[in-house]
Structure formats: structure tokens, C-alpha cells
Amino acid sequence: MTAALETIRARAGAEPVRLGLILGSGLGHLAGAVGGVAIPYGDLPGFPHAGVSGHNPNLVIGRLEGVRVAVFGAREHYYENGNPAAMRPALETLKALGAEGLIATNAAGSLRPDIAPGDLMLLGDHINFSGLNPLIGERTDARFVPMTEAHDPGYRAALRSAAAVEGIALPEGVYAWYSGPSFETPAEIRAIRTLGGDAVGMSTVPEVILARFLGLRVAAISTITNMAAGMSDEKISHEHTKAMAPLGAAKLERILRGFLHGLR
């Protein structure tokens, strides 16, 4: 982490960062809207070398809506290398840069007929359906992280307000983390629905756990790219996800900008 921190400060300056943003599928263009410096993950020791098409592995440090942010253009998913803690060095660096919180975004499949492709869903809670945890192996008692309000109530309220100002529907739901990379079966989707899940995806939960471990406030929003397996006749694929993600991305960008404007 020290080497990455030194590199970031040398290129982007020592001014503290207020907030981190993890961009999911379809939101890569938002990094280009940040007035600042783009640093390839490959130049930052310990940072993940994300290998998923549709993501841009750069860290961008600069201002968006007047707020100094650190924008992660990609994340490493558990299914890439089998490491649920892959994002820990990056988030530790975010904390060391002075950030108070993290906003994560992702692409997800809907389990609710009233939340359709192109819609957004604010995460009110999550289910760790995979059973994996990025804190396994942590030796200190800090590993026993309370998750009762893992998704920060204040951030969620501010995001809902920003959505309301923009006239964008932002229903709140429960996100279930499925490890991937294969998509879920219809039987697994029925199980997740029975457990109370409203959307399913292959990311975000490890980052939420790590962020809370590090003392960061956190909130997350899903862009719905498809109905989950068995919920419709559409063919689910990664190409479909990439094609559908931009439908919600424009709305999500407006919400994020409004949220950041409110932090100034």
C-alpha cells in the first residue's frame, strides 16, 4: 500500500480525497468526466489487474461536482482469481488518502417484476449467498465487523434525495452476491428470492465488507441489465450485460453528480 500511496501522491498531489467511487459496467465514461489524473492499476503495487471486458483499470484522482474523488475504473471480481480480498489493498489506499466513504456501483439481474432492465436499485442490504468473506485470515479482532447498517443510512437518504430531484425512480432492495463466473440457475434464483433477494450480481459485497472493516461509510447502486434466470425468456450473457448497462448508466451518473453536489 505504501508504494501505491506514494505513486498516487506524486502524480495527483497530497490533497485528501473525500470519497471513493467504484464504477460498474457501463459507467467507465464517468472517470473521463473527472478533472484530474488517471493512473493505470499496473503502476500501483498491490492494485488488482482486473481482466473483465467492459472495465477500464485506471484509478482517477480529481474533482467531480467540486468534490475530490478517487474513481476506480474497475474492480477485481472473486471469480477472476478466487480471492475475495482482491480489492483490499486498493481500499486500504483509499482510506489512507483520507476518504470518509465509498460508493460502489454494479450491474445486476433483477428478481422483481417491478424492477426492469434499465432501472436502478439502491442497496438497502445484502445477502452473501456465496458464503465467502474477504476478512478470512485477518488475525485481529477487527475482523468481527458488525453489518447491521453496512449500507450507510445517511448516504442512502442522500442518494434517494438526489434521485428525487432528478425525477429518477430509485427503489431500494436486497442484493445477493453470487460468486460467478457462470450465471445462476433458475433454481438458484428461486432460492435467492425465497431468502429475500431482489437483485443478484457477482461483485460489491466483498467491497462493502472491506469498506466497513476499514471504517468507511458505504452505499451501493445496481444498474439492472437483465431479469435473472427463469424470470423471463431473454438470453443472459456478458455481452448482453455490456449492451444493457448504458441504459441505466446515464440515470446513475445524474444521481451520483447530485449526491456529490450535496457533499460540497
Q: Which of 202, 244, 245, 249 is catalytic?
A: 202
Residue 52 and residue 180 in contact, taking contact as beta carbons nearer than 8 Å = no
199 CB neighbour count, 10 Å cutoff? 26
Residue 77 is among the residues annotated as catalytic for this protein: yes
Residue 202 is among the residues annotated as catalytic for this protein: yes
Residue 55 is among the residues annotated as catalytic for this protein: yes
Q: Which of 4, 31, 41, 55 is catalytic?
A: 55
Q: Which of 175, 226, 229, 244 is catalytic?
A: 226
65 CB neighbour count, 10 Å cutoff? 16
**Inter-axis angle of helices 88-96 and 205-213, nearest 10:** 40
Q: Which of 104, 107, 219, 229 is catalytic?
A: 107
Q: Which of 4, 25, 176, 220 is catalytic?
A: 25
Contacts of 90 (CB under 8 A, 6+ apart): 44, 46, 47, 48, 59, 72
Residue 126 is among the residues annotated as catalytic for this protein: no
Residue 25 is among the residues annotated as catalytic for this protein: yes
- Separation between Cα atoms, residue 206 and residue 141, nearest integer Å: 18
Q: Which of 76, 77, 110, 244 is catalytic?
A: 77
Residue 107 is among the residues annotated as catalytic for this protein: yes
Identity of the residue numbered 153: P
Q: Which of 58, 106, 110, 203 is catalytic?
A: 203
Q: Is 223 left (phi over 0), alpha (psi -120 to 50) or beta?
A: beta
Residue 226 is among the residues annotated as catalytic for this protein: yes
Q: Which of 80, 100, 172, 253 is catalytic?
A: 80
Residue 240 is among the residues annotated as catalytic for this protein: no
Q: Which of 128, 238, 250, 253 is catalytic?
A: 238
Residues known to be catalytic: 25, 55, 77, 79-80, 107, 202-203, 226, 238
